[in-house]
């Protein structure tokens, strides 16, 4: 079920250039024992964010007040491993509405699209440009424009377009999800099932 609609987002961004961040890091398995979708943000990146006593680790970006925003700019191969949608719930619950990376794992990307957190795939060069710009000025604003399919560094105007299929784009913009679509196909699905 999609959380909300997505059209144009302007925000500062949080950089996490580490590569191969798997969903076990985003939300460790021991925090998956819930039967509802709320509250996962508290344990987002739990073991990178807190030590064993529960004290914030100073060197982790989410504990650095310099950086904030609704956009997470992540390293290559973000969201690999477990299919747990809880990873996206945790990112959303924490406040992220968009994740940007030069390379996403497949299941994670689908999970993002299904609940309305926009995954934006950019070139490695544009990723470097974003990391550099955010490091130079943590208050620099980034615009993610879904109708135009562009991501722009507002200070310089540096921009890149990104791909998303028309169907998913339309869903994101209107807050629809696949079940809304599939329910309207009930007769065709029933016919197909009966032929199996």
Partner 1 sequence: MEKNTLFDKIWDAHVIKSVPAGPDVFFIDKHFIHEVTSPVAFLNLKLRGIGVKYPNRTIATPDHNVPTVDQDQTIKDKLSRMQVEKLRENCAKYGIELHDLGSAHHGIVHVIGPELGVTQPGMTIVCGDSHTSTHGAFGAIAFGIGTSEVEMVLATQCIMQSKAKKMRISMEGTLGKGVTSKDIILYIISKISAAGATGYFVEYAGSAIQSLSMEARMTICNMSIEMGARGGLIAPDETTFAYLKGKQYAPKGADWEKAVAHWKTLKTDDGAIFDKELVFEAEDIEPMITYGTNPGMGIKVTGTIPTTQGMEGSNKTSYLKSLDYMGFAPGEAVKGKLVDYVFVGSCTNGRIEDIRAVAQFVKGHQKAENITAWIVPGSREVEKMAHEEGLVKILEDAGFELRQPGCSACLAMNDDKIPAGKYAVSTSNRNFEGRQGPGARTMLASPLTVAAVAITGRITDPREVFGN
Stretch that binds partner 1, among 20-28, 90-98, 140-148, 149-157 (CB under 8 A): 20-28
Rounded to the nearest 10°, the torsion over CA 87, 110, 75, 12 is -80
Nearer to partner 1, 10 or 20 (CB): 20
Cα distances (Å, whole numbers) of residue 119 to 57, 116, 192: 27, 9, 32
Number of neighbouring beta carbons within 10 Å of residue 188:
10
Question: Does 117 participate in binding partner 1 (rule CB under 8 A)?
Answer: no
CA-CA distances (angstroms) from residue 149 to 4, 50, 100, 169, 184? 18, 36, 13, 9, 28
Neighbouring C-beta atoms of residue 44, cutoff 10 Å? 24
Interface with partner 1, residue 56, by CB under 8 A? no
State the minimum distance, in angstroms, from the CB of residue 48 to partner 1: 8
Q: Which of 105, 134, 142, 153 binds partner 1 (CB under 8 A)?
A: 105
Q: Point out which residues bind partner 1 (CB under 8 A).
A: 1, 17-20, 22, 24-25, 28-30, 32-37, 47, 52, 75-77, 80-86, 88, 103-107, 110-111, 114-115, 165-168, 177-179, 181-183, 185-186, 188-189, 192-193, 196
């Amino acid at each position: 079920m999609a959380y909300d609609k997505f059209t144009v987002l302007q925000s500062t961004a949080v950089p996490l250039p580490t590569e191969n961040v798997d969903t076990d890091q985003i939300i460790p398995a021991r925090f998956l024992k819930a039967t509802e979708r709320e509250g996962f943000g508290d344990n987002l990146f739990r073991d990178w964010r807190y030590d064993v006593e529960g004290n914030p680790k100073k060197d982790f970006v989410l504990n650095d007040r310099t950086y904030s925003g609704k956009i997470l700019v992540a390293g290559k191969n973000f969201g690999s491993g477990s299919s747990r949608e809880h990873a996206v719930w945790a990112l959303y619950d924490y406040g992220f509405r968009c994740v940007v990376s030069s390379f996403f794992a497949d299941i994670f990307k689908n999970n993002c699209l299904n609940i309305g957190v926009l995954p934006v795939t950019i070139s490695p060069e544009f990723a470097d440009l974003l990391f550099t710009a955010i490091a130079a000025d943590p208050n620099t604003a980034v615009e993610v424009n879904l109708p135009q399919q562009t991501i722009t560094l507002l200070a310089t105007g540096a921009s890149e377009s990104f791909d998303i299929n028309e169907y998913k784009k339309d869903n994101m913009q209107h807050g629809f999800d696949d079940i809304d679509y599939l329910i309207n196909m009930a007769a065709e699905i029933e016919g197909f099932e009966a032929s199996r």
